[in-house]
């Protein structure tokens, strides 16, 4: 896996820390929980999209782009990190925002990530639910017809180029574990547009680790999510040159923690966000990492893991969205 063959720009602070969570492990009665702090990538309050953007923006710069176009839900963390990366590189940025969450709180369309998108100078437009990648691609093509050098980034930065960021994360994580003498039994994280899990699977497969990756879906049903992760993992493995592809049986996603839908709060998420804040002083988010941690907590309580297993939670970021869900956390 020779990642330096691919165009790349440096945007984040790496390696991100790999730390134990002793108080949360104690509160749950084991296993040994660790956290990989990809919320600390440093770009525009950080998060998992920074790793993908190093490769996507690398390609954009190589192609001479002057503007990037992408899309996401109104509180997209991907859009916010893309806006920050574009600002850093002197590119313009347009983000198409989908009104995906029904009945959001009052500040939802101005607070949190939306506020930061604007601060980074991005141009925003709001859209009713639909095929957002098709709309963003059509916008990219319209800009090209005007003679602008526009680069399209799919929602979540999830394609074989963006997923290289998580191939790289797999390499980084394994080196940290080896240096610490830490045997990783499971890796757990929130999965949405699939690039994170796909890249991790391709990278871990390329290093023959066999470490199981458990995706906690924040939107799609299990079969649909696993199929989408598998398709991108295969394409990423091929892009990076991992031989033999990804066994379908290695792709595992749980969809029991979505609740009423993408971005809609659940009691498990609220508990997970509060418990992680109060035991470890770590901020999760209501849409992704909070539901991911709710999944991890439930799996612990159900006895899914052995008591002495070492389980790493990949913190994918997102805390900027907390401010668009202020009413959830106002109780003492």
Ligand X SMILES: *Cc1c(COP(=O)(O)O)cnc(C)c1O
Contact 197, 189 (CB under 8 A): yes
Q: Active site residue: 186, 257, 288, 325, which one?
A: 288
Told to judge if 262 belongs to the known catalytic residues of this protein, a careful annotator would answer yes
Task: Take residue 4 and report the two structure tokens written for it.
Answer: 């330096």
Binding string, 35-74, against ligand X, x = CB under 6 A? ------------xx--------------------------
Q: Two tokens at 19?
A: 């730390």
Annotation marks residue 49 as catalytic: yes
| 3-state per-residue secondary structure call for 102-139 | CCCCCCCCCCHHHHHHHHCCCEEEEECCCCHHHHHHHH
Q: Check whether the bond before 15 is cis (ω within 30° of 0).
A: yes
The token pair at 179 is 């240096």
Of 176 and 196, CB closest to ligand X: 196
Known catalytic membership, residue 186: no
Closest approach of Cβ 77 to ligand X, in Å? 3
CB atoms within 10 A of CB 207: 15
Provide, rounded to whole angstroms, the least separation between the CB of residue 63 and ligand X: 23
Please give the full DSSP string across 178-220, using - where no structure is assigned: HHHTPPP-EEEEEESSSHHHHHHHHHHHHTT----EEEEESSS
Binding mask 282-321 for ligand X (x = CB under 6 A): ---x--xx--------------------------xxx---
Indicate which single residue of 45, 158, 220, 236 sits in contact with ligand X (rule: CB under 6 A): 158
Candidates 26-34, 175-183, 193-201, 294-302: pick the segment binding ligand X (CB under 6 A): 193-201
Active site residues: 49, 262, 288
Residues that bind ligand X (CB under 6 A): 47-48, 77-78, 156, 158, 190-197, 285, 288-289, 316-318
């Amino acid at each position: 896996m020779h990642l330096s063959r691919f165009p790349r720009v440096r945007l984040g602070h790496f390696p991100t820390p790999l730390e134990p969570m002793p108080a949360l492990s104690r509160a749950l009665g084991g296993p040994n929980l660790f956290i990989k702090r990809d919320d600390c990538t440093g770009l525009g309050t950080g998060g998992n999209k920074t790793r993908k953007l190093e490769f996507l923006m690398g390609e954009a710069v190589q192609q001479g782009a002057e503007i990037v176009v992408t899309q996401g839900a109104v509180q997209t963390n991907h859009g916010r990190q893309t806006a920050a990366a574009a600002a850093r590189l002197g590119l313009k940025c347009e983000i198409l925002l989908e009104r995906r969450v029904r009945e959001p709180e009052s500040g939802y369309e101005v607070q949190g990530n939306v506020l930061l998108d604007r601060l980074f100078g991005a141009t925003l437009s709001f859209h009713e639910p639909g095929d957002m990648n098709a709309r963003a691609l059509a916008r990219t093509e319209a800009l090209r017809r005007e003679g602008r050098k526009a680069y399209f980034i799919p929602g979540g930065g999830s394609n074989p180029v963006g997923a290289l960021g998580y191939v790289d994360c797999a390499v980084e994580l394994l080196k940290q574990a080896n240096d610490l003498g830490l045997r990783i039994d499971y890796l757990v994280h929130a999965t949405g547009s699939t690039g994170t899990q796909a890249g991790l699977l391709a990278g871990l497969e390329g290093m023959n680790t066999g470490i199981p990756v458990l995706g906690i879906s924040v939107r799609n049903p299990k079969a649909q999510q696993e199929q989408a992760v598998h398709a991108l993992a295969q394409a990423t493995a091929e892009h990076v040159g991992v031989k033999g592809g990804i066994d379908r049986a290695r792709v595992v996603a749980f969809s029991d923690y979505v609740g009423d839908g993408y971005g809609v709060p659940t009691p498990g998420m609220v508990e997970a966000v509060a418990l992680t804040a109060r035991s470890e002083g770590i901020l999760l988010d209501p849409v992704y990492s909070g539901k991911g941690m709710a999944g991890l907590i439930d799996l612990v309580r159900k006895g899914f893991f052995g008591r002495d297993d070492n389980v790493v939670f990949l913190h994918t970021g997102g805390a900027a969205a907390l401010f668009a869900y202020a009413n959830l956390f106002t109780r003492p």
